[in-house]
Chains A and B, each alone.
Chain A
Amino acid sequence: MSEQKKSAAHESLFHLTKRTEVNPASAMLIRVIAIVLGMVVCGLTAFLLIEKLHGDPSKIKDFYACFIKGSFASERKLWKFLKNMAILQCISLAVTPAFRMRFWNIGAEGQTLMGVLGCITVAFYFGGRLPEWQLLILMLIAALLYGAVWAVIPALFKAKWNTNETLFTLMMNYVATYVVSYFLVIWVPSGSSTLGKLKYGKLPVLPFGNQYLLIILIVLALTIGLYIYLKYSKQGYEISVVGESMRTAQYSGINVRRVIIRTMVVSGLLCGLTGFLIGSGLDQSVTTESVGGQGFTAIIVSWLANFNPLVMIVTSGLISFLNSGAAQISQDFNVSGALPDVIVGIILFFIIGCEFFIHYKVVFRHASSEKEAVK
């Protein structure tokens, strides 16, 4: 055995070992280093791609300043940043219960879009015919219902016939997009497929603070609520057990099918609620782009936070911060809209990549043979 080890060590320059315990301080250090490295690589990439930087390397500091400017330059930008973060956080909360169960629900995009559609359907048909508060309650119910139905369909198939939930939820996203297109065709007979902002069904604005404050507070309350649900409730515990091992769950008398379906309903309800916030609190309309890919970004947000709702405040904040910074770069340097995607992509690559180094240790031949000698 030890001979084998020795020969392996002689053959390769380094090998990987799984860290038995992860020191939170060093994990955080690795993450910070990754973000800094990602930023440096972004700067280099921008230097190559942005013509305005070619003649004047001193402008590179403007490039980095854009990240701060994008989210914090004005009060309005700050509120917009918080609003974007809240919506992303809300969808991330929605995917989390299923992820903790290792049920890979990547259908949050479609579930949220259906939530928007449900809420706008009510506003379209009943707007102006009911008092606003009744309308808003109906819109909320419809949004929750649409989101939950869209989530529970793949869960039922999984529980009954063990279908692959990843593919199923992914496909449901496309179906949702076409359902929205279908209704837009019916609702807009002129042929433009553009519904525009509806007059009724606007989420009230708090008498104090910014117009987005209510949305932000709702999401904050949900974050705390979900944290408590997952950590301290019996149902939250069942989710964790099913996630650890389905067999263990079965032996301990947990009805796994029921837990899967129930958890997906929770996910769907949260997606529907996000749809309601978008539909009544922001757009007051629906398009196929109403969710704009945030249902997929939420997966990264949730995963980076290790499925912890409180940590997600940091990760959703980070992603929103990067997005608004990158958009600011496109604006200030007058470059193509593809550059922000490249920049965010590079940084995410580093952030996700560094998780590998948190969980694995690179042991070089020299160092490892020294260790052997010590042993």
Chain B
Amino acid sequence: MKKFVALMLVLILSLSVCVFTASAEAADVKLGIILLHDENSTYDLNFINGVNDAVKALGLSEDQVIIKRNIPESQECTDAALDLVDEGCNIIFADSFGHETYLLEAARQYPDVQFCHATGTMAHTENLANFHNAFAAIYEGRYLAGVAAGMKLNELKANGQLKGEKPLMGYVGAFTYAEVISGYTSFYLGAKSVCPDVEMKVQFTGSWYDYNEEKNAATALIAANCDLISQHADSMGAPSACEDANIPNVSYNGSTVASCPNTFIVASRIDWAPYFQYIVNQVAAGEAIATDWVGTIETGSVVLTDINEQAAAEGTAAKLEEVKAELTAGTLKVFDTATEGFITVEGAKLDSYLADVDTDEAFTPDTEVVSDGYFHESEFRSAPYFNVQIDGIELLNMMF
């Protein structure tokens, strides 16, 4: 009897050890998140939502995630990262462009901890095994949103409701910076793919978040005869100007249908949850994290919100599904330089372009990014580097 009990005990013990080690891997992961601001900024909120969704999907416990809010782009970022290391985090993620050099500092000190940085550009040149950049091919999402815009313009044209002779779009941008340029150009190309004679005017605000400036810019564009507005800036300024003037709007970062029921068509956004799941899974499995990770439509990182049927043109949903399938299959390229007259710079075809992929102090262009008939955006590194000014888009001002 005693022997039997002992045997049972050993069995139970070894079984429980097995179960324990099986679940121990995911339980070993502790995620530290460094945010520039907090929930009040749509940019940071998008990351908080991404973390929460990933935690739910992976079944992580509450104390496996630590979020540090309002960490400036300074030595404070290094301090915050090191503090997270002390608290036992083995993956540390920072969300703002300016955090990068300070996060690198912490990465050099702790080679066993993985450091991940969104929107950054230095991972592929620093050669640190534990430092990684991530972004999403949001230009594909912008392109899809542009298709929805182009269809709306076609509808307006068919109904004789265009303000001028040619369909004209307005775009409110933050800075004259690659991420923004890549965004509005892909949006424009999406529209052009279904509405070939479309033109676009871009007004920059010089701020990532400024409600009044964005609203003023949108209002000015509407007054300049734009038939449709889109934006790359984080406030509700442009969408609300559109609702006031009853001008259709294609949004970014999230749906604005609640406050703009008559004019909101669709919005594209980056969903960060897939990336958080990816890094947790890689570390749990003891695998390396990609130096430059680019989220796509396929990974679920580039997403569109629900289409507002009240404002969108008929058949938009079906058309978007069709284009999405082509993008996923790789048969359609957003920055298609091969098709005659699609992308031109001062009337000439774009055969070759040197982009500044490897960041250096003088910002010298270093990499040929046009080949095989398209501009290879987000392939040489995750963060966008398309900053070509193409025909059909008029910049009303510049904000560096």
- Scoring A residues 73 to 97 as 1 if CB is less than 8 Å from chain B, else 0, what string do you get? 0101100100000000000000000
Chain B residue at minimal CB-CB distance from A283: B74
Say if the beta carbon of B68 comes within 8 Å of chain A: yes
Say if the beta carbon of B40 comes within 8 Å of chain A: yes
Binding stretch for chain B, among A41-49, A329-337, A343-351: A329-337
Taken together as a complex, chains A and B put the C-alpha atoms of A193 and B179 apart, in Å, by 13
Which of A77, A80, A287 lies in contact with B98, CB distance below 8 A? A287
Q: In the complex the two chains form, is A191's CB within 8 Å of B69's CB?
A: no
Q: In the complex the two chains form, is B69's CB within 8 Å of A337's CB?
A: yes
Which of B40, B69, B73 lies in contact with A194, CB distance below 8 A? B73
Q: In the complex the two chains form, is A190's CB within 8 Å of B74's CB?
A: no
- Scoring A residues 314 to 356 as 1 if CB is less than 8 Å from chain B, else 0, what string do you get? 0000000000000100110010111010000000000000000
Say if the beta carbon of B374 comes within 8 Å of chain A: no
Say if the beta carbon of A17 comes within 8 Å of chain B: no
Specify which chain B residues have a CB less than 8 angstroms from the CB of A189 in the assembled complex: 363, 400
Say if the beta carbon of A204 comes within 8 Å of chain B: no
Taken together as a complex, chains A and B put the C-alpha atoms of A162 and B6 apart, in Å, by 94
Q: In the complex the two chains form, is B39's CB within 8 Å of A196's CB?
A: no
Chain A residue at minimal CB-CB distance from B100: A196
Q: In the complex the two chains form, is A285's CB within 8 Å of B67's CB?
A: no
Query: Whole-angstrom distance from the CB of A97 to the nearest CB of chain B?
Result: 28
Chain A residue at minimal CB-CB distance from B82: A76
Binding stretch for chain A, among B140-148, B170-178, B183-191, B247-255: B170-178
Chain A residue at minimal CB-CB distance from B383: A192
Q: In the complex the two chains form, is A337's CB within 8 Å of B37's CB?
A: yes
Q: In the complex the two chains form, is B400's CB within 8 Å of A197's CB?
A: no
Q: In the complex the two chains form, is A287's CB within 8 Å of B79's CB?
A: no
Specify which chain B residues have a CB less than 8 angstroms from the CB of A80 in the assembled complex: 79, 83
Taken together as a complex, chains A and B put the C-alpha atoms of A337 and B101 apart, in Å, by 23
Given contacts A191-B400, A338-B38, contact A285 B177 (CB under 8 A): no
Query: Whole-angstrom distance from the CB of A284 to the nearest CB of chain B?
Result: 8
Taken together as a complex, chains A and B put the C-alpha atoms of A196 and B105 apart, in Å, by 12
- In B177-227, the 8 Å CB interface with A consists of 177-178
Taken together as a complex, chains A and B put the C-alpha atoms of A193 and B180 apart, in Å, by 14
Given contacts A287-B98, A338-B38, contact A191 B74 (CB under 8 A): no
Specify which chain B residues have a CB less than 8 angstroms from the CB of A334 in the assembled complex: 62, 67
Q: In the complex the two chains form, is B38's CB within 8 Å of A285's CB?
A: no
Specify which chain A residues have a CB less than 8 angstroms from the CB of B177 in the assembled complex: 190-192
Say if the beta carbon of B97 comes within 8 Å of chain A: yes
Query: Whole-angstrom distance from the CB of B203 to the nearest CB of chain A?
Result: 16
Chain B residue at minimal CB-CB distance from A332: B66
Q: In the complex the two chains form, is B72's CB within 8 Å of A192's CB?
A: no
Which of A77, A285, A331, A336 lies in contact with B68, CB distance below 8 A? A331
Q: In the complex the two chains form, is A337's CB within 8 Å of B38's CB?
A: yes
Chain A residue at minimal CB-CB distance from B174: A191
Specify which chain A residues have a CB less than 8 angstroms from the CB of B67 in the assembled complex: 331, 334
Q: In the complex the two chains form, is B40's CB within 8 Å of A336's CB?
A: yes
Say if the beta carbon of B86 comes within 8 Å of chain A: yes
How many interface residues does chain A have, given as a range? 20 to 34
Say if the beta carbon of A300 comes within 8 Å of chain B: no
Say if the beta carbon of B70 comes within 8 Å of chain A: yes
- In B75-98, the 8 Å CB interface with A consists of 75, 79, 82-83, 86, 97-98
Query: Whole-angstrom distance from the CB of B122 to the nearest CB of chain A?
Result: 9
Q: In the complex the two chains form, is B73's CB within 8 Å of A287's CB?
A: yes
Given contacts A74-B86, A331-B67, contact A192 B175 (CB under 8 A): yes
Query: Whole-angstrom distance from the CB of A346 to the nearest CB of chain B?
Result: 18
Say if the beta carbon of A3 comes within 8 Å of chain B: no
Taken together as a complex, chains A and B put the C-alpha atoms of A336 and B39 apart, in Å, by 6
Given contacts A194-B98, A283-B75, contact A76 B400 (CB under 8 A): no
Q: In the complex the two chains form, is B363's CB within 8 Å of A190's CB?
A: yes
Q: In the complex the two chains form, is A193's CB within 8 Å of B86's CB?
A: no
Chain B residue at minimal CB-CB distance from A340: B70
Say if the beta carbon of A267 comes within 8 Å of chain B: no
- In A275-291, the 8 Å CB interface with B consists of 282-283, 285, 287, 289-290
Specify which chain B residues have a CB less than 8 angstroms from the CB of A330 in the assembled complex: 69-70
Q: In the complex the two chains form, is B73's CB within 8 Å of A292's CB?
A: no
Q: In the complex the two chains form, is A197's CB within 8 Å of B83's CB?
A: no
Query: Whole-angstrom distance from the CB of A276 to the nearest CB of chain B?
Result: 14
Say if the beta carbon of B356 comes within 8 Å of chain A: yes
Given contacts A192-B97, A196-B98, A197-B105, contact A287 B74 (CB under 8 A): yes
- Scoring B residues 96 to 127 as 1 if CB is less than 8 Å from chain A, else 0, what string do you get? 01101110110000000000000000000000
Specify which chain B residues have a CB less than 8 angstroms from the CB of A285 in the assembled complex: 74, 101
Which of A76, A77, A190 lies in contact with B356, CB distance below 8 A? A190
Specify which chain A residues have a CB less than 8 angstroms from the CB of B38 in the assembled complex: 336-338
Taken together as a complex, chains A and B put the C-alpha atoms of A338 and B37 apart, in Å, by 10
Which of A74, A197, A283, A338 lies in contact with B40, CB distance below 8 A? A338
In the complex, 15 of the A-B residue pairs with CB atoms within 8 angstroms, ordered by the A residue number, are A74-B86, A76-B79, A188-B363, A190-B178, A190-B356, A191-B399, A194-B97, A197-B104, A282-B75, A283-B74, A287-B73, A289-B73, A331-B69, A337-B37, A338-B40
Which 3 A-B pairs give the minimum distances between C-beta atoms?
Answer: A337-B38, A191-B177, A197-B101
